[in-house]
Structure 1
Amino acid sequence: MGEHSYLPGHRHGGGFLDRLGEGLLAALRHGLEADDLSRRPGLLQGLDPRVKLGGALALMLMAVSVRSLTVLAALLGLAAGLAVASRVPLARLMRQVWLGVLAFTGLLALPALVLVPGRPLLHLPLLPWPVTLQGLRSAAFLVGRAETTASYGLLLILCTSWPHLLKSLRLFRVPLVLVVILGMTHRYIFLLLQNAAEMVEARRSRSVGPLPPRERRRLAAGAAGDLLGRALHLGAEAHLAMLSRGYGGEVRLLDDFRLRRRDGAALAGLGLALGAAWWWGRP
């Protein structure tokens, strides 16, 4: 992309194209940062992908099954500790998981505060129903479980390269067609984002002044149609090229997975954590 587009004060096509181009570039940067995190030296990055996938699934299952808020908070704290040990910024977890999940799940949990029967805690103005202790506990469980499971899922994705994660899914007997769809989607979504960013950049370089609303709508519709055509053409060409090279759907990598001492230690620690969570989280 042209360097003139990033010079201070140099704007083409008004705020609409600027915001659109910046949004596309931000999405590309987001993907590159996630890929860079999986290559950093850290606790989770050094483990076998199968151990990480199995451990994340086990911890998620434990988070949705415990009956103690203290244990649930400890599991969330464990996720934060793993993020720090793996050099994943906590600000990223907060921005991508904690705030969004709190806002969305919190809205879903609000009715439980007054609809779940139990011992009244306080009366809200303009509402005939009191907030109950059991309702507050139910809402806390819903939000806490969503926060914890989403945190472990994000850590798994950020600390594992995508090809290794796909290969681990096949080892866990995930259907081949689902693995192929995930692999192709991840691979070509960034290519299409780059194409869209280049289209916007080309339009910005030929624009003088802000675009009227009608022109913005026409530009957005035309770009969407062009990207759809490119995606269909690229998908067909890529599929034919893969078949001509003997692709049968399996994820094949040059490096094979091997369990090491650190993986054994991680499995032992996982077993202790799950055992303690089960013991203290029993109803």
Structure 2
Amino acid sequence: KEGFLQKLDPRVKIIGLLALILDATLARNFFTIIFIFAIAVLLAIVSHVPLRTLAVRTWLSVLTFTGTIALPVIFITPGDALFRLPLLGWTITAQGVTSALYLLLRVETTVTLSLLLVLCTLWTHVLKGLRVLGVPVVFVVILGMTYRYIFVMLETARNMFEARQSRLIGSLDARESRRIAAASIGVLLTKSFYLNTEVFMAMQSRGFRGEVYTLDDFMMRRRDWLALAAFLLLALAGFWFGRQDSLQSFVNLHF
């Protein structure tokens, strides 16, 4: 769908969204992270990205996996006790809860911004934009090949699993299942090496010398410059406010 981000130059999106990601990573207070998260949601709305897509692909998965990682933090971080689990005797500390919330908010915000970049920009344009901005060609090529062939290897693994299942009658015990899984991993690794060589030789025979070329030429327009200025102003404001240790610092500011 055509929306705000879809109409911008890929270089503007890369610079602007990466700047906001950096702000969210370095912020020292909840206010700044929540503000950047609100900007990400607003960008999704004006770019016609369904919030359901963000919820399914990002928010729920990040809450599940990052929450699992952050859960021990609320117990092992020393500080003021908030609650003690009756049976286990573990103590939940205020500092631990704060650290866990910081981690969850940061990851939710940065992953949302990253997903917006991918959903609103052609992958080839992302790679070319990175190259135009001076990212080393080796990094760009590795990123492009990884994105492309991770799906190929997943499809290969699925085909191997289906082929194995179609030749089985009944169920295997745990030991035999582990043996087959280890053998399948070895076969998949061997196939990846062969595929790597064949793909590289095919690319070389078609004139590939390391650079990423597309048929589209990037050209900055007035709205791109305005959007870039807005992104940079938001990023600078987010960086400055993010350096404050707490919301009380905002109240005590002297201009």
In the alignment, what sits opposite 2:248? Answer: none
Of residues 171, 182, 190 in structure 2, which corresponds to 1:213? 171
Of residues 81, 85, 90 in structure 1, which corresponds to 2:42? 81
SS in 2 for 1:45: helix
Q: How far apart, CA to CA, are the structure 1 residues paired with 2:62 and 2:110?
A: 10
Aligned length: 241
1:277 maps to 2:249? no
In the alignment, what sits opposite 1:6? Answer: none
1:25-40 counterparts in 2 under 5 A? 40=1
Cα gap change, 1:115 to 1:183, in 2 (>3 Å)? closer
1:97 maps to 2:55? no
Q: How far apart, CA to CA, are the structure 2 residues paired with 1:115 and 1:245?
A: 56
Q: CA RMSD in A?
A: 3.3
SS in 2 for 1:131: strand
In the alignment, what sits opposite 1:182? Answer: 143
CA drift at 1:250: 0.5
CA drift at 1:194: 5.5
SS in 1 for 2:5: coil
Map Cα deviations across residues 128-159 of structure 1 (whole Å, 9 max, x no partner). 45433332222211111111111111211222
1:114-129 counterparts in 2 under 5 A? 114-128=75-89
Cα gap change, 1:273 to 1:77, in 2 (>3 Å)? same
1:169 maps to 2:139? no
In the alignment, what sits opposite 2:11? Answer: 50
Map Cα deviations across residues 43-83 of structure 1 (whole Å, 9 max, x no partner). 21211111111112111110011122122112112212212
Of residues 121, 136, 149 in structure 1, which corresponds to 2:110? 149
Cα gap change, 1:55 to 1:226, in 2 (>3 Å)? same
Unaligned 5+ segments in structure 1 are 1-39
CA drift at 1:186: 2.8
Indicate conservation of the 8 Å contact 2:33/2:105, yes or no. yes
In the alignment, what sits opposite 2:29? Answer: 68
Of residues 108, 111, 126 in structure 1, which corresponds to 2:69? 108
Of residues 198, 211, 216 in structure 2, which corresponds to 1:237? 198
SS in 1 for 2:6: coil
SS in 1 for 2:69: helix
Map Cα deviations across residues 185-211 of structure 1 (whole Å, 9 max, x no partner). 33334445556667788x69xx69x84
| TM-score of the pair, normalised by structure 2 | 0.77
Q: How far apart, CA to CA, are the structure 2 residues paired with 1:266 and 1:234?
A: 42
Q: How far apart, CA to CA, are the structure 2 residues paired with 1:197 and 1:111?
A: 34
In the alignment, what sits opposite 1:22? Answer: none
Percent of matched pairs sharing the same residue: 48
| TM-score of the pair, normalised by structure 1 | 0.70
Cα gap change, 1:112 to 1:239, in 2 (>3 Å)? closer
Cα gap change, 1:222 to 1:108, in 2 (>3 Å)? closer
1:267 maps to 2:225? no
Indicate conservation of the 8 Å contact 2:3/2:47, yes or no. yes
Cα gap change, 1:181 to 1:211, in 2 (>3 Å)? farther
Q: Which amino acid letter does the alignment assign opposite residue 81 of structure 2? A: P
Q: How far apart, CA to CA, are the structure 2 residues paired with 1:73 and 1:227?
A: 43
